[in-house]
Every structure is written in structure tokens, then in C-alpha cells.
Structure 1
Amino acid sequence: MTSIEAHEYYMIEEETLNIYISKVDTTGCTISAAKKIGATKQLISSYINYNLEEIKPRNKYINVHVFARSQSQYLFTKSSKNPKKHVLDDMELLKWWKKVLEQTFTDSNKQNIKKWYYIPGDAVESKARSLIKKDNDNWIYGYPYNNESKVDDVIPKFDDDAKARWLDHLNDNNENDESDNINVKDFWEMVSIGGEFSGGKIAGFFWVNIEGSKSENLKSEGYETTLLENLKKNVGGITFDEQEFIKILQKFFELEFYDDDVALKSSKDWSKIFEDFCAQKGINDGVLEFVVEQPQEIESNDGGGTNLQSNLYKRKPAENNEKVNVLSPSLIKRVKK
């Protein structure tokens, strides 16, 4: 059994879809370790390819963001206690992610693709660079941000992301907006000395940017108007408030997956919970879709329009008191009965 958690952010005016893959986990309950890892690779590849093949025509750009950090469990409660679960160490996980992303985009010859990866900390730079093959490797060691740019202008803040925690820390501890003066180079130096990167720990970041072909007729008559209206109004047809979303998700996290028998029972229990929820909401195809709150546009610090970080987190309060789930439908949307 395997699962991923991903968040999708549509930047309508920029014709951009940003995908942040925040968690990947397995239960360890499988026939062999090889098949388990293969299934996880296939799940990630299928998810990304779905966006490239089905969602891509609606967006000129797709950006995939990954923060790779080794832990014993992320999504399946008590799966770390399963002796059959194989947890990759720090460097194994980085190699695994690089290979998965490499294979996923190998056959994508219709787009202009750029790939970066970066492991904060000078002490691990030689190890990080060793991941690049001498021949036919089109990865760039580094990050897709200019060193002299201000971090608040170019680095997005995602949920459960080391970069976001440092950005929040800077903003909370600089009363006079001194964080506005911190550039990208200084920011990465600060990230490398604490949190997920202290005590000999190694974690890394991956970015893949896909730009649509110049020949794609993205501006055909009526296209932009239709796209804007559809995305602004809804990303589905079912509205969930925050508490309802948390409640249904919490039921999953209360289930346990520490051996085959328990995992099988938990899977059946979750299927029943999910089916009952769908029946309650009148959903026949087992797919949950969300209407999401639209953020207000906030100008960037240099007055040059909006940036990704503003679109994600710097939101003005809604005029009404109704709360809706602002997470993308990617977490549950494509779960089938």
C-alpha cells in the first residue's frame, strides 16, 4: 500500500499550475520490497503525467516542487512499527527522488523542461554533486532563484515545507521588516544550519519546471475567459468547510497499519467510512471535488504585480464567515471506489 499527499495551486493570470508533493508513504504491507517501491514510483509518475496530459493544455507552465526528507512514517499511522517496511536513509531517498523524477520526465519531449535539485549545507555539496551523472544528465545543481533576489519575492511558501518554516521564522522575528532585505543566497545559508539540516541530517529540494510548446494555441478565442471563469467559480461541485474536512481526514489517521492483518482491516474500515461519506453527500463515482476560496491579489514588495507566495498565503480575510477547504482536490479528488 502506498500513498502521496500533493497540493495544487493555480495561478490563473500567469497560466501556471504549481504542484507541491509534500508527503509520500508506504505501509510495508506488500509481497516484496521491490514491488512496494515500484508501486510508489508508479503512483507518483501517474499523478504527474495526469497533470501533463490532462491538465497541461489549460496551463502554459507547470512547476513541480518536492521537499525530500527521510522519516519512518508520514501518512500511515504506526506503519513504522512494521518490520517489513523499508525506510530509505537520507541519501538513498534523495537518489530515489531524483531517479523517479528523471524517469517521469524522460519521455516528455513536447515541453521545455528544466530540473534542479539542492541540498543545503557546504559539507554535503560533494555528496550532492555526486548524484549527477557524468554523461547525459540534464539536472542543474542549485535552485531556480536568483541569488540576489529577495526571498519574499521569489520563494513560495508551501504547507509543511522547510523553506516556509524559515520564512515564517524570519517574518516573526523581524519587527522592522528586516526579512525583506534578506536575499536568496543568505536565506539558503540560514536554512542549512538548523531544523531538518542539523545534527548531520541531510534533506533536499527538487524543482521541475515545464513550459508549454510555443506552438500551443493557448490564447485561442474564448479559451482564457472560459478558463478564468471555471477556475474562479469552482474546482468541483461539493463544498466542505474546514471542520468537516479535518474530521473525515482524522478518521483515516486514527487507523493503524503496523502489520498485514491490521492494515487490511484498516483499509476495509476506511473504504466503509469513505463510501458512507460519499453516500451522505450524494456522490456516485467515489470522487470528491472541492469549491475553494479565491485569494485576493496582493502586490509584491517591489510593486511589480503578484508573486506565488502572495497567492498562497498572503490572503485578505473573506467578507463572509463561511469557511471552505482551501487545499487542492489533489489530496482526495482522484480516490476511486
Structure 2
Amino acid sequence: MSVDGLRDALLQGLKGLPGSREFHVHVLVSSPRKHTGLFPFAIPKQRAYLQDILIILSEQKTADSPRLIVAGIEANLYNISSRSCAVLYVSKVDSTGQATAPSPTTSLVHSFLLYYADPKTRPIDANTLWIQLFARAQNQYLFPNSSDFAGKQPLSDVRLCAWWKRVLTGVAAELSKRTDSKPTVRSFYVLPGFGQLEAENSIRAPASAVEWAYTHPYSQREIPLPCAPPAKDKPNLGHYIPWFDDCPKSRFLDEIAYIKGSDGVQSPPRKRRRLDSDATEPPASLPAEKKDKEERILGELDSVTPDEFWERMSFRQECVAGAVTGFFSVGITSGEAEAVAGPSSHSTPETSPGQVPAQLIKRVNTSLHTGVEFATREYAVRGTETIESAIRGLCEGLSTIHAPVIPAPKPLSRAKPSSRAKPLSHAKPSSHAKPSSLVKPASHAKPPSSLKRTRDASSSSIQLDTPRTPRTPPPQNRALPVDASPNPFPEPETSLDTYNSHIYGSVVVSNPELPPKVGVQAPVQAPVKILAVRKKKKA
């Protein structure tokens, strides 16, 4: 996978923004690893290769100005090489509100999606790509306390769904212009609880040749699905609905699989105690029993159809909490559906220069969520220095990365963070350590008012707990077979050359400013008339 290709594509997409400024981008893509959790209830098991993607964009107004993180993207790429298909799931997109108008978030997301959608620039060998995401409006996703900054204006629920529809429409429209082979593109979206007419009136896409179907993509046959069930077997819902972290579809899929009717969660049957006489019996039936146990369809997965699944999604708590939510899916295929639907001869993906270990991305994410905040400009400057130094230091192999002191501004009433923050250690954290142990404030410091203080039950230390968005609990698929085979990809080794050649990049933008809007004039202030006070004459 050519990571520097993604970095250069993002910088190229930012060159056309109006104004004069300099952008700095950090692109972290992990090496592929085996993953069987994309379709955990599919029979037979569907193997995929997972890569984590984290993009951090900073802006610098002038050469003397400090850098400020302005936007970020967190995504996952699943490569199903046996079917020549890939799934790009965009989990989080967020901004800090510190950018100069116009915001670069739209251009960043557009360039990111177009890089994977275009078959010419797609870094994996796959004929079909599915872009999937769940749009739910929140004040902040990636940058803690950024919603407290006055310059950030989060989109409402309806405007966020409309924004995603415009971005995906622009990607599909430009894809049809750039490619010569004219790949097949189909777009689908569902707003749970809305009819088709209500959804079309609520969110509108710009006029283009891209058509949107208000339905789920599991009934069409034009674009191959990542995990379609065999034609001779009974349909299983686990072949259609992918399992993503922090997605309401995954929670509902778990409930359908593990809750049967009104009896609730079924306990596993009690095993019969093995007697001495059983040792003399031939174990001829053991493989068949094990096979039947593995191929047993859980819960109601065989009785719930995709149409019923999406109809019942309209009554889920995540979709009826008073905010409009949306599920978007875009399928792109560059070959015939019949040719790529069956088993493919595509080889196993390989590691490429510029990739980093998945643990490195996890540590950067932990530092981003627990070690910094973006409530003010001063906090944003310090937070940008911390995150950028952490990425460079981890790639270079430094033993410790010192977190800078974040002084509290006087006008604010929030408490001052500790000036004795522990350095970010490069050593691999223990499996029993909590994520917040990477950057932990001193015990005598008071956390900001927007952060909660939680006490660990196993220790007497007080840790910071930043406001988090609702997350889907981990899957309860313990009864499913686990692929215990070793990962065929070695852990990549990062260096300073990797950082400069593949991860970090910058571009200077020098374009004319946006012209003023036609018909919009600046309000003319009326002259202020000062009245003189007349004193009453004494008689």
C-alpha cells in the first residue's frame, strides 16, 4: 500500500482552497492484519485484512504563526481478497473550529474518499469498493472539549446528513469524470424513521448525474456484496450486515444473534460429566459434533431478513432519540458482477513502506483523547505540539516524549491542568494499564471543569475521563470459532526517514480570497445620536 500516495493526494486536494496559509498533514496507516470480525456470524467464516487509518491536519496562517490542528479523520479499511472486494468504513470526522474560513474539512474528506474510490489510485488489489458510514451529529468526536471553543459551529443532525450526501455525491461525480473505464457506482442511504419523500425533502444533494436510492444495498445485484451467502443455503442475516465498532447496526445484530424471543439471553447447555467409560468409546462422532456446533446459526439470524432489519432499526434508541441519523453506502465496481462475485485469485495483501504498527496508531489516539484538549486557542496550540511531537517521536523511536505544559488562561474559570505531566513513554504499555496512563496528570492538580474525575476500583489514583460519544459494546461472540493462526505480516519498523518520506507532508496555499456573495451587503450602522441631559431649573 502506497501511503505516500494518500499523503500526496490529500495535499493536492488542499491546494485549491482560497486564501493564503500552509497545511501540515500526518497520515498514519497500519500494516494489514487478519480480521474475522467484519462478518462474525457468517457461515462459513469470512476472512478479511484490516488496516487502521488516522489523518491529522494542521494549519499555519503565516510563517511566524503557531500550528493548529483543524481537522481529523479516523477510518478502517477491510480487504476481502477472496472476493476482490474492500470496505472503507469512516468512523469519525471532526474539526476544532480553529481553521481559517473556508474550512478545509470538506476538501480533506473529499480527497480521502476519492483516493480509495478511484481504481487508478486505490492502493489495494480489489475490483469492488464499498464506502459505508453512519452519520450522527455530535459536538465533538476526535478533539476533546473542542465544542467549548466559540469558533467551532457543529452541524445539526439534518445539516450533517445533508453534508455527507453532498460530499459523497461530489466523489461519485468526479469519479465518473476522472476514470476512462466508467465504473459502476450506486449510492444508497436510509434515514431511520423517515419515509422516502420526507428524506428527500430534508436533505438534498446538488444537481448531478448521481442517483441516490432510498433503501439498503443488500437487495441489488449490480455490485457484489463483500460476503454474500451461497445460493443453495438458507439466507443468514450475518452475511449481509457488517460489524463495525461504534455503530448501532452492530449492537442490533448482536441482540438478534443472542436474544431468542421473550426468553432473553439463553445460557449455554450444561456439559455432561465425562466418565471413565467414555475414554474407551471411539471419537468418530466428535468432528461431526464440532462441525454442527460451528455451523449453527445463532438466535434469529436465519429468520430476520434485511428488509425487516432496517424496518426495525427505525425503533432503535440510537435512531429515535430526537435527532436525525443516516446510514450511507456507496458501491463502486470496475468489473462485471458475475466475474468478481465468486472466489478470486487475488493474492494476499503485503506490507508497504510507510506503514506503521497498529499499536502506534492506538497510542496516538489515546494521547489525542486523554492528554490534550482544544477548548481555547492556547490549549489548541499546546495540544498540536503534543500530538505532532508524539507522532514524530514514536516514528523516530524516542524513549520518552515530554508533554508540554498547558497554562490556563486567566479569563476562563476552569481549573489549571497540572504542570507536572508525566512524559509519554515509548515502551509498550502493559495489558493491565488503562489508556489514560500514557499521559496522566499529577494527583494534586485539579482537572478542567468539563472533565470528569473517576477513581479506579483497583487503585487509589484518580484519572481523567473525557466526555466520550456513545459506543457500541464489544461483540458477545465468544461462542464463535476464533482464528488462532499467526498473523502473516511482520510488524513494520518506523524511522525518521519513514516519517519524512511517507507520514508527514506540507503544502503552501496562495490563492485569491473568496469573492463576496452577490446581493449580500454589509449592514450600514446608523449614526448614534447623543442626547443632552437638561437639568431642571430651580424655582
**TM-score normalised to structure 2 length:** 0.48
- Matched residue, 1:146: 219
- Matched residue, 1:8: 77
Q: How far does the alpha carbon of each residue in 1:231-254 deviate from its partner, in whole angstroms, 9 at most, with x for none?
A: 1x5466867475x65333211212
AA in 2 matched with 1:120: P
Q: Which sits farther off after the overlay, 54-63 or 67-76?
A: 54-63
- Matched residue, 1:264: 381
5+ residue gaps, structure 1? 219-223, 282-313, 326-331
Secondary structure (helix, strand or coil) at the match of 1:42 reads: helix
Matches within 5 A, 1:94-243: 94-109=161-176, 110-122=182-194, 125-130=196-201, 131=203, 136=209, 138-146=211-219, 150-174=236-260, 175=266, 177-213=299-335, 228-229=347-348, 231=349, 233-234=350-351, 240=357
State the distance in 2 between where 1:23 and 1:152 align. Answer: 24
AA in 2 matched with 1:155: I
State the distance in 2 between where 1:246 and 1:24 align. Answer: 17
Equivalent residues of 1:15, 1:61 under 8 A apart? yes
Q: How far does the alpha carbon of each residue in 1:298-334 deviate from its partner, in whole angstroms, 9 at most, with x for none?
A: xxxxxxxxxxxxxxxx662424699999xxxxxx997
AA in 1 matched with 2:319: F
- Matched residue, 1:251: 367
> Could you say which structure has the higher helix fraction?
1
AA in 1 matched with 2:250: A
Equivalent residues of 2:368, 2:387 under 8 A apart? yes
Matches within 5 A, 1:316-335: 316-319=482-485, 335=503
1:66 to 133, 149, 152: 133
Q: How far does the alpha carbon of each residue in 1:155-175 deviate from its partner, in whole angstroms, 9 at most, with x for none?
A: 111111111111112223234
Equivalent residues of 2:184, 2:333 under 8 A apart? yes
State the distance in 1 between where 2:88 and 2:318 align. Answer: 22
State the distance in 2 between where 1:135 and 1:78 align. Answer: 38
1:46 aligns to 2:162 (yes or no): no
- How far did residue 84 of structure 1 move? 1.1
Equivalent residues of 2:85, 2:128 under 8 A apart? yes
State the distance in 1 between where 2:87 and 2:246 align. Answer: 16
Equivalent residues of 1:196, 1:202 under 8 A apart? no
Change (3 A) 1:235 1:193: farther
AA in 1 matched with 2:140: Q
AA in 1 matched with 2:363: K
- How far did residue 265 of structure 1 move? 1.5
- How far did residue 278 of structure 1 move? 0.6
AA in 2 matched with 1:79: S
- Matched residue, 1:55: 122
5+ residue gaps, structure 2? 1-69, 177-181, 221-233, 261-265, 267-297, 399-479, 492-498, 506-539
Equivalent residues of 1:241, 1:323 under 8 A apart? no
RMSD: 3.4
- How far did residue 127 of structure 1 move? 2.5
Secondary structure (helix, strand or coil) at the match of 1:71 reads: coil
Equivalent residues of 2:191, 2:325 under 8 A apart? yes
- How far did residue 18 of structure 1 move? 0.7
1:90 aligns to 2:157 (yes or no): yes
- How far did residue 189 of structure 1 move? 2.2
AA in 2 matched with 1:279: E
Change (3 A) 1:315 1:56: farther
- Matched residue, 1:296: none
Change (3 A) 1:92 1:324: farther
- Matched residue, 2:99: 30
Residues paired across the two proteins, number: 284
Change (3 A) 1:319 1:63: closer
Equivalent residues of 1:241, 1:322 under 8 A apart? no
State the distance in 2 between where 1:145 and 1:118 align. Answer: 12
AA in 2 matched with 1:144: P
- Matched residue, 1:303: none
**TM-score normalised to structure 1 length:** 0.74
Higher gyration radius (CA): 2
